[in-house]
Each structure stands twice: as structure tokens, then as C-alpha cells.
């Protein structure tokens, strides 16, 4: 029996099905978690064009890949070592107008190759990024001065400014955050 692709109608359903799989490689799948969290926290930002979610199960019913897209942005692919799952996704998504793909190198390369075969569109690497996983913490020889504390209401303006600055630096082509104060609240 071949791999099966299941589309999901909500972020809640997607995370219920894909969550355990995604957390197995949390660092590699951090973008899927981040986008899913943003959809949960600020659904109005994504209301204009409904986010799309899908998971791929192997013939035993085990989730082996997941993907999401918040149009007009790129398709985001989870970590997977199951290239048949990637092929199954291409088969299901081939009629969609994808501006691009974000994903782990091997899976993204396979997707791009199969996408080119299926659609005749060309593919190219625009940005190569890395993800690092923290496995241990080594205390510095001289600790920083000060102490940790939870943010307080008096920190709100600073947090709003940080959110605006981060968005501008990390997502320069994205529209500004509609209500940055929501981030601080």
C-alpha cells in the first residue's frame, strides 16, 4: 500500500495528527511549530487566505512527513528521511501555485526534482540555511551581571519594539506586524 496524504482543515487538527512526529525532531521542525503557533495566537493575520496543512502516513499509518503553507508564502516541509513521502506530497500539491519551498536539504532537493518533473517548472536554491540544536550548556568563565526575571507590564514598550525590529530583520519582505502590541500582551 502506498503512502497516503491527508489534508487538514485547521491548525488544531494538523498538530493533533502531526505533533508527536514533529516533536521527535523539534529543532529541525521549529518553523512548522512557529508558524502553527502564530496561526493559533493571531488567526486574523491568516484570515485572508486560509492556511493549508497536510501529513503523510506510511503504509503502517505512521506519520512520516508534514507540511504547511500560509499563502502567499512558501510551502514548508518537515524533516523526513522518507523520500516516498516527499513524492506523495508532490503528487498531491502539483496543481497548486507554489512560490517556493522551505525544508531540510535532502527532502527539499527531492521535492524540487519531482516538482520539476511533474510541473515543468524550474527549481533553484535561493537561500541555504542551517538549524542548530542545543544539546548542552557550558557556563561562561565570567557570568554576566544581573539576574533573570519575568517580563512585567513596564517592559511592554520594549517587547513591542523588539517584535517590530525582529520582524523587519528576519522577514524583510513580509508585511509589518498588524498589531505589534498583541505580541507583548
- Boundaries of domain holding 43: 4-119
Whether residue 113 is contained in a domain is answered as yes
Q: Are residues 34 and 92 in the same domain?
A: yes
- Residue 1 banded pLDDT, cuts 50, 70, 90: low
Backbone angles phi and psi of 65, in degrees to 5: -165, 155
Strand ranges (DSSP E) for 37-173? 52-57, 63-69, 75-77, 101-102
- Per-residue pLDDT of 47-66, as tens digits, reads 889 999 999 999 999 999 99
Whether residue 140 is contained in a domain is answered as no
Whether residue 127 is contained in a domain is answered as no
Whether residue 144 is contained in a domain is answered as no
Question: How far is residue 145's CA from residue 103's CA, in Å, rounded to a whole number?
Answer: 39
Q: Are residues 103 and 163 in the same domain?
A: no
Rounded to whole angstroms, what are the CA distances from 94 to 86, 97, 111, 116, 175?
Answer: 12, 8, 11, 10, 27
- Per-residue pLDDT of 125-177, as tens digits, reads 888 888 888 889 998 999 889 998 999 999 999 999 998 898 888 888 777 87
Question: How far is residue 138's CA from residue 115's CA, in Å, rounded to a whole number?
Answer: 44
Q: Are residues 19 and 108 in the same domain?
A: yes
Q: Are residues 105 and 160 in the same domain?
A: no
Quick one: cell of 124? 533553484
Residue 84: count other Cβ atoms within 10 Å of its Cβ. Answer: 16
Q: How many domains does the chain have?
A: 2
Whether residue 159 is contained in a domain is answered as yes
Q: Please state the pTM of the whole predicted model.
A: 0.76
Amino acid at each position: 500500500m502506498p503512502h497516503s496524504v491527508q489534508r487538514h482543515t485547521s491548525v488544531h487538527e494538523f498538530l493533533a495528527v502531526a505533533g508527536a512526529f514533529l516533536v521527535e525532531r523539534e529543532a529541525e521542525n521549529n518553523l512548522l511549530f512557529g508558524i502553527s503557533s502564530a496561526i493559533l495566537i493571531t488567526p486574523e493575520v491568516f484570515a485572508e487566505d486560509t492556511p493549508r496543512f497536510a501529513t503523510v502516513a506510511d503504509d503502517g499509518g505512521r506519520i512520516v512527513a508534514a507540511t504547511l503553507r500560509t499563502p502567499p508564502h512558501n510551502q514548508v516541509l518537515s524533516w523526513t528521511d522518507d523520500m516516498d513521502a516527499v513524492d506523495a506530497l508532490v503528487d498531491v500539491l502539483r496543481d497548486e501555485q507554489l512560490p517556493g519551498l522551505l525544508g531540510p536539504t535532502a527532502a527539499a532537493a527531492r521535492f524540487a526534482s519531482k516538482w520539476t518533473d511533474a510541473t515543468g517548472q524550474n527549481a533553484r536554491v535561493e537561500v541555504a540555511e542551517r538549524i542548530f540544536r542545543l544539546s548542552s550548556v557550558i557556563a561562561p568563565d565570567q557570568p554576566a551581571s544581573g539576574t533573570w526575571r519575568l517580563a512585567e507590564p513596564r517592559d511592554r514598550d520594549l517587547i513591542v519594539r523588539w517584535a517590530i525590529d525582529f520582524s523587519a530583520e528576519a522577514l524583510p519582505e513580509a508585511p509589518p506586524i498588524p498589531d505589534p502590541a498583541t505580541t507583548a500582551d
